[in-house]
Structure 1
Amino acid sequence: MFRQIGINVRASAWKQVRFNSTNSTPALNWVDFLKLKKENHVMNITASVFTTLAGGVVTLTYLGNYEFDPEKPILGMDPIMMMGGGVVLGGFVGYLFGPTIGTSLFRLKNRSILKQFLQKDSIFLTKIKANRVDPSSQSFSNPVPDYYGEKIYSLKGYKQWLRDCNAYRRKTKEFL
């Protein structure tokens, strides 16, 4: 049909085109994976800030409406100090909920490539586990470089982490 209208098409070119493709998203490369990893971290930190403030405000609102006798100690301590500690504790509990909410938002936002992200994350963690150093000989002058690879958000950072791990190994061999 295409030859009739003047378009010369090789038969092998048609084999490369898939009209009913099930995978409409391109493969996730390492640069994009590390950007998504950083985005997940930023979302977790942001959610932690908001949940910390929300936990503190909710606790302060509850304790502000609670009637207590300011002259009677609570658990042997000054009631105002206990109320302040309760607000700090409420903020801390809110902080602990932050990463859960941040991860949920990240998964909801990136659900189209989530499967690829989780596969790359598994491969990344396997590479980190294979290349990390033995922390048994660490000291103040020779600390372990980012044992879990939590601060790696770029290929440049990963290469630097590998160099730091090799420098750590070299130092432990030379000074033991």
Structure 2
Amino acid sequence: MFKVGIRGRAFTRAFTPKIRFNSTAATGQGPLSWVEYFQLKKQNSRINFVSGIFTGIGGSLLTLSYLGNIEIDVEKPILGFDPIMMMGGAVIVGGLLGYLVGPFIGSFVFRLKNKSSLKEFEVKNSYFLSRLKSKRPDPSSQSFSNPIPDYYGERIYSLKDYRQWLRDCNAFRRKAKEFL
């Protein structure tokens, strides 16, 4: 692009694009820290739980509305059970199936909400799960009095929880070694 400068001379303005191709530097946030990772993990878990509750209620209401519109003979048993009991069981099963659908919707909402840091979260999550896999004890030596601590690390939401999980795993190993 040419512009007219001082005393009528033309000069070019250097065009240097300020585009960076790695997503972490473009947002200015840098890599995802462990504290931020655990916050996102907790947020994902809560969103999945809440969406499970809503879809569970929706599933039971859908089942209830369907069963309310069909004609059932109350004197004739269904599979050998009272029809009212079967309808109540069907409403409960509809709610449970709805609750199971909830985490799919919750993970979709989480991905939409955290689009900018999703790749970093997934990288950190795979690294975290590989650490869990390498650090967790062998479950073959568990017993009723010595249960294995949180095998998949589902209740680890902070560095403090992770350190406590490591201590629990070491205690499990020590008890399993002493009592076998």
Give the structure, 1 or 2, with the largest relative contact order (CA under 8 Å, sep 6 or more).
1
Which 10-residue stretch deviates more, 45-54 or 66-75?
66-75
Aligned to 1:21: 20
Aligned to 1:14: none
Cα displacement (A) at 1:153: 0.3
Q: TM-score, normalised by structure 1?
A: 0.86
Aligned to 2:177: 173
Say which of 76, 81, 86 aligns to 2:85: 81
Unmatched 5+ stretches in structure 1: 1-17
Aligned to 2:140: 136
**Secondary structure of 1:152's aligned partner:** coil
Aligned to 1:70: 74
Cα displacement (A) at 1:28: 0.6
Structure 1 letter corresponding to 2:93: L
Q: TM-score, normalised by structure 2?
A: 0.84
Cα displacement (A) at 1:175: 2.1
Structure 2 letter corresponding to 1:84: G
Aligned residues: 159
- Indicate the RMSD between aligned Cα atoms, in angstroms: 1.3
Say which of 109, 113, 125 aligns to 1:109: 113
Say which of 147, 151, 154 aligns to 2:155: 151
Cα displacement (A) at 1:21: 2.6
- Residue by residue, what CA displacement relative to the aligned partner does 1:28-87 show, whole Å, maximum 9, x if unpaired? 111100110010000111011101100001110111111111112222221111111111
Cα displacement (A) at 1:110: 0.6
Unmatched 5+ stretches in structure 2: 1-16
Instruction: Answer yes or no: is 1:38 the counterpart of 2:38.
Output: no
Which 10-residue stretch deviates more, 141-150 or 18-27?
18-27
Provide the C-alpha distance between the structure 2 equivalents of 1:175 and 1:78, rounded to a whole number of angstroms.
51
Aligned to 2:164: 160
Aligned to 1:54: 58
Structure 1 letter corresponding to 2:42: K
- Residue by residue, what CA displacement relative to the aligned partner does 1:70-108 show, whole Å, maximum 9, x if unpaired? 112222221111111111111011011011111111011
Provide the C-alpha distance between the structure 1 equivalents of 2:151 and 2:93, rounded to a whole number of angstroms.
30
Cα displacement (A) at 1:174: 2.0
Structure 2 letter corresponding to 1:39: Q
Provide the C-alpha distance between the structure 1 equivalents of 2:171 and 2:76, rounded to a whole number of angstroms.
60
